[in-house]
Chain A
Amino acid sequence: GQNIDQPTEMTATEGAIVQINCTYQTSGFNGLFWYQQHAGEAPTFLSYNVLDGLEEKGRFSSFLSRSKGYSYLLLKELQMKDSASYLCAVSGSSNYQLIWGAGTKLIIKP
Chain B
Amino acid sequence: DVKVTQSSRYLVKRTGEKVFLECVQDMDHENMFWYRQDPGLGLRLIYFSYDVKMKEKGDIPEGYSVSREKKERFSLILESASTNQTSMYLCASQGFISTGELFFGEGSRLTVL
Contacts and interface: CB of A to CB of B under 8 A. Distances in A.
A47 B9 CA distance: 27
Contacts of B102: 33, 35, 43, 45, 98
Contacts of B59: 97
Interface in A1-53: 4, 8, 30-31, 33, 35, 40-45, 48
A6 to B, nearest CB: 9
A102 B41 contact: yes
Contact of B43 (A30, A48, A87, A96): A87
B42 A44 contact: no
Given A42-B90, A96-B31, A96-B50, A4 B104 contact: no
Nearest to B43: A100
The range of chain A's interface size is: 20 to 34
Interface residues of B, number: 24
Given A42-B104, A42-B106, A87 B42 contact: yes
Given A41-B106, A42-B106, A96-B48, A4 B101 contact: no
Contacts of A95: 97, 100
28 contacts: A30-B100, A33-B100, A33-B101, A33-B102, A35-B102, A41-B106, A42-B4, A42-B105, A42-B106, A43-B43, A43-B90, A44-B104, A45-B103, A48-B100, A91-B100, A95-B100, A96-B31, A96-B48, A96-B50, A97-B48, A97-B59, A98-B100, A99-B42, A100-B42, A100-B43, A100-B44, A101-B42, A102-B42
Interface of B: 4, 31, 40-45, 48, 50, 56, 58-59, 90, 97, 99-107
